[in-house]
């Protein structure tokens, strides 16, 4: 067999694919245990490096990540970091400090000074063992102090979002503290880098002067210019490719400038993002355009590169692990203790102060950036680098469980009950994930309520996954803000004269939170919008499946195929409680003006004689359901394939199909069948899939 030689491009693409696969696979596991994705990204890098892959399959590691390819991987990782630091700066909105300026500055500075002092003291003891004579003791001590002082602003924002704390006083102060912490830490880091790169005191002073000049130009020259640009960008469409290109060019110029000055390109990227105006739509739209590729594609390369430099095997002696444990304790004591002390002095209670201290002890990505800069400059050894990576992992991993313990979760609080004279007998909960399905769901809700306007309360619920962008989360949490996916639903409901109440929440467990909300609102039906494909191997999957399994209310799932009106409705029946539940939904739709229903009863071959020559009375077949006279036709069809019978009938012209979640239609659990999903996949009209209420799981 000839030896295969991979080109540099083939190798790079393979490396990126392996890194993304490892990151996303581990991401599923860490999300399951309630940890931020950054944990998976760091672990994926470590597992792909000499700590595991190199230990188990050294040949694979050498083939996949040869030393000659690391410089190219590093450049892509650095590009990802430049873009990410720009996004971090872009998220630093002065509004974060609104109403919390004094407390935020006091807490954040204390949370930096305390660990920095403890870290510098520890660095003085560790210098001889973990550095080299070529490295200045001042540089080593300063870098060690900085490495224990940083807080991961993006990771912190994500945790606050997931815990529904972002809009609380504790969350607001914590986020403001992290923002001030970020600015202070990066200014300190820029100074320390300039000192480390300088070969003489005069050179360090010159570098510091240039850095201050750069900051002044950005604040008083570039910032006012972009303030005028931002005022002209009132929509996403106004941020054209030309404007984005110009901003990216200035970003690269800013990063190059600080790299040439000697304070690292990342500071220039961070500074440029920080000075861009946050008013209008420019910052929000720009972040949306850059974030996906940066966070999903480029940033994992940095984590992998850091993991490849992490060598757990270097900590072979027991005393090395003792030192690692000591570093973790010092870092945690400095951050937690300093934050707690300052929080108590500014009026927080013990519980809130402890929660704030735990959150500020989150390090994540920011720590790895500092450590990689120090390792690149030769200030710290590979052994100390590994110790500090472990410290970053432990402190970040500990944040969520400690926060759960100190500041327990509060589930969805039931809304205030309506006044007795206005309280309805039943309610309908509409769950929507994107705006495209909003109008169709509003039309279904209108048909279900019929001519009644006050007998049924209508609630529209939108749940979203927390992001790392505080500005987005704060905007979503504004009391008067309606989530974008709900806008089209609300507009259609208004046109249909359908009163509706909207609710929006962050959620990491959407199915569970839908069930909790349905219970709190005493929903008689949960109506879900669905994306295509709705099914996987004939089973309702993902959130839909979990809602059906756990919800104590009946569930209806709409697959929209352009539902413009609800007049001709086909009800498919083949027997079972699911089809009866579908029939109950049809009975409600029958009260809607203009609705004409056709009941299609599919029976096995040879059973036609039992049905009165193909026609039966609905009340005789379904004695448990009172049907309206709106059912104009009741058809009985013999067929070995119920889906084929439905598709044949629907071809005659209908607006909507209603059927139950049963194996008869290829929707229930059971053996794999080639006929599965046919109704949903081939139906030219919208389909409403119904499942009866289940005993809610606890």
DSSP 124: H
Bridge pairing between strands 535-536 and 539-540: antiparallel
pLDDT score of 685 more than 50:
yes
Q: Which two tokens stand for residue 315?
A: 């900590």
Contact (Cβ atoms closer than 8 angstroms) between residue 576 and residue 663:
no
pLDDT for the residue numbered 181: 83
Q: Average of pLDDT values for 191-203?
A: 78
For residue 569, what are the contacts with CB-CB under 8 A and spacing of at least 6? 586, 589, 595, 596, 597, 598, 654, 655, 656, 657, 658
pLDDT for the residue numbered 409: 59
Q: Is 662 left (phi over 0), alpha (psi -120 to 50) or beta?
A: beta
pLDDT for the residue numbered 529: 80
Nearest C-alpha neighbor of 139 from the set 80, 50, 204, 222: 204
Q: Average of pLDDT values for 237-254?
A: 85
Nearest C-alpha neighbor of 460 from the set 436, 493, 507, 414: 493
Task: Give the architecture-level CATH label for domain 426-691.
Answer: 3-Layer(aba) Sandwich (3.40)
181-195, 470-484, 511-525, 579-593: segment of lowest average pLDDT: 470-484
Nearest C-alpha neighbor of 166 from the set 84, 176, 503: 176
Bridge pairing between strands 539-540 and 656-660: unpaired
Q: How many CB atoms lie within 10 A of CB 106?
A: 16
| pLDDT confidence tier of residue 541, bands split at 50, 70 and 90 | low
pLDDT for the residue numbered 377: 87
Q: Find residue 419's DSSP bridge partners.
A: none
- Order of strands across the sheet with 568-573? 501-506, 456-464, 426-431, 523-529, 555-559, 686-691, 656-660, 568-573, 596-603, 631-638
DSSP 397: H
39-48, 229-238, 332-341: segment of lowest average pLDDT: 229-238
b/e burial code for range 399-411 (CB count within 10 A of at least 16 → b) = bbebbeebbeeee
pLDDT for the residue numbered 412: 37
Q: Average of pLDDT values for 68-93?
A: 87
72-86, 97-111, 136-150, 250-264: segment of lowest average pLDDT: 97-111
The total number of residues shown for the chain amounts to 698
Q: Average of pLDDT values for 154-177?
A: 76
Nearest C-alpha neighbor of 145 from the set 119, 122, 174: 119
* Measured distance between the N- and C-terminal CA atoms of the chain, rounded to whole angstroms: 59
Contact (Cβ atoms closer than 8 angstroms) between residue 214 and residue 283:
no
Contact (Cβ atoms closer than 8 angstroms) between residue 341 and residue 375:
no
How far apart, in Å, are the Cα atoms of 650 and each of 292, 579, 687? Answer: 42, 17, 11
Of residues 408 and 81, which shows the higher confidence score?
81
Residues 459 and 442: their CA atoms lie apart, in Å, by 11
13-22, 435-444, 458-467, 617-626: segment of lowest average pLDDT: 617-626
pLDDT for the residue numbered 3: 44
Contact (Cβ atoms closer than 8 angstroms) between residue 546 and residue 552:
no
pLDDT score of 539 more than 70:
no
Q: Which two tokens stand for residue 372?
A: 């990689």
Nearest C-alpha neighbor of 363 from the set 183, 573, 156: 156
CATH tag, 8-406: 1.20.1530.20
Nearest C-alpha neighbor of 306 from the set 19, 17, 7: 19
Residues 398 and 336: their CA atoms lie apart, in Å, by 12
Of residues 231 and 596, which shows the higher confidence score?
596
For the chain, the domains span 8-406, 426-691
% of the chain surpassing 70 pLDDT: 81
Alpha-carbon torsion, ordered 123, 129, 132, 133, to 10 deg:
90
Alpha-carbon torsion, ordered 618, 623, 626, 629, to 10 deg:
20
Residues 372 and 380: their CA atoms lie apart, in Å, by 9
Of residues 299 and 279, which shows the higher confidence score?
299
Give CA angle at 76 (72, 82), nearest 5°: 140
Q: Which two tokens stand for residue 59?
A: 């040949």
Q: Round the CA-based radius of gyration of the chain to a whole number and report it.
A: 30
pLDDT score of 618 more than 50:
no
pLDDT for the residue numbered 503: 81
Give CA 291 to chain center in angstroms. Answer: 12
């Amino acid at each position: 067999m000839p030896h295969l030689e991979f080109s540099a491009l083939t190798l790079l693409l393979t490396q990126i694919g392996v890194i993304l696969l490892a990151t996303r696979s581990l991401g599923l596991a860490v999300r399951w245990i309630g940890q931020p994705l950054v944990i998976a990204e760091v672990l994926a890098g470590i597992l792909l490096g000499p700590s595991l892959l190199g230990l188990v399959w050294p040949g694979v590691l050498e083939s996949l990540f040869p030393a000659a390819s690391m410089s190219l991987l590093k450049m892509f990782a650095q590009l990802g970091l430049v873009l990410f630091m720009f996004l971090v700066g872009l998220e630093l909105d002065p509004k974060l400090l609104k109403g919390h300026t004094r407390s935020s500055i006091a807490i954040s500075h204390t949370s930096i000074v305390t660990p920095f002092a403890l870290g510098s003291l520890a660095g003085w003891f560790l210098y001889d063992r973990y550095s080299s004579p070529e490295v200045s003791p001042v540089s080593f001590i300063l870098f060690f102090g900085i490495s224990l002082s940083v807080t991961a602003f993006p990771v912190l924002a994500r945790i606050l979002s997931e815990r529904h704390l972002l809009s609380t006083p504790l969350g607001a102060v914590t986020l403001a503290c992290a923002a001030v912490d970020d600015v202070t830490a990066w200014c300190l880091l820029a100074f320390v880098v300039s000192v480390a790169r300088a070969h003489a005191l005069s050179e360090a002073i010159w570098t510091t002067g240039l850095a201050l000049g750069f900051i002044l130009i950005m604040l008083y020259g570039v910032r006012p210019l972009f303030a005028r640009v931002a005022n002209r960008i009132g929509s996403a469409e106004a941020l054209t490719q030309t404007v984005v290109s110009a901003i990216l060019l200035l970003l690269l110029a800013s990063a190059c400038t600080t790299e040439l000055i000697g304070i690292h390109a990342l500071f220039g990227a961070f500074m440029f993002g920080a000075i861009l105006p946050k008013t209008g739509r420019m910052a929000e739209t720009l972040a949306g355009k850059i974030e996906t590729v940066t966070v999903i594609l480029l940033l994992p390369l940095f984590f992998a590169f850091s993991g490849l430099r992490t060598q757990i095997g270097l900590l072979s002696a027991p005393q090395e692990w003792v030192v690692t444990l000591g570093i973790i304790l010092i870092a945690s004591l400095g951050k937690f203790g300093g934050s707690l002390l300052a929080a108590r002095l500014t009026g927080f209670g013990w519980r809130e102060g402890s929660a704030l201290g735990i959150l500020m002890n989150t390090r994540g990505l920011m720590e790895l950036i500092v450590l990689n800069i120090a390792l690149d400059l030769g200030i710290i050894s590979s052994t100390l680098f590994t110790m500090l990576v472990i410290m970053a992992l432990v402190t970040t991993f500990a944040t969520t469980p400690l926060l759960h313990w100190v500041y327990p979760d509060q589930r969805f609080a039931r809304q205030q009950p309506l006044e007795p004279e206005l309280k309805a007998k039943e309610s309908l909960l509409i769950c929507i994930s994107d705006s495209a399905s909003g109008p169709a769901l509003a039309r279904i809700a209108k048909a279900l309520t019929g001519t009644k306007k006050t007998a049924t309360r209508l609630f529209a619920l939108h749940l979203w996954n927390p992001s790392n962008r505080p500005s987005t989360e704060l905007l979503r949490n504004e009391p008067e803000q309606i989530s974008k996916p709900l806008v089209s639903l609300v507009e259609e409901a208004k046109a249909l004269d359908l009163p509706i109440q909207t609710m929006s929440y962050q959620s990491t467990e959407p199915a569970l939170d839908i069930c909790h909300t349905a219970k709190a609102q005493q929903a008689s039906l949960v109506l879900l919008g669905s994306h295509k494909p709705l099914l996987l191997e004939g089973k309702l999957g993902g959130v839909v499946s979990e809602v059906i399994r756990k919800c104590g209310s009946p569930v209806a799932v709409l697959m929209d195929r352009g539902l413009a009106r609800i007049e001709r409705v086909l009800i498919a029946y083949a027997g079972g409680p699911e089809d009866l539940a579908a029939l109950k939904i049809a009975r409600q739709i029958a009260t809607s003006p203009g609705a004409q229903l056709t009941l299609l009863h599919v029976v096995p071959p040879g059973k036609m004689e039992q049905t009165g020559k193909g026609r039966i009375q609905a009340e005789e077949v379904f004695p448990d359901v009172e049907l309206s006279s709106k059912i104009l036709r009741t058809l009985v069809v013999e067929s070995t394939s119920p889906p084929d019978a439905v598709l044949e009938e629907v071809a005659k012209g209908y607006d909507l199909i209603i059927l139950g979640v049963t194996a008869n239609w290829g929707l229930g659990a059971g053996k794999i069948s080639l006929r599965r999903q046919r109704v949903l996949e081939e139906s030219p009209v919208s389909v409403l899939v119904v499942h009866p209420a289940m005993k809610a799981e606890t």
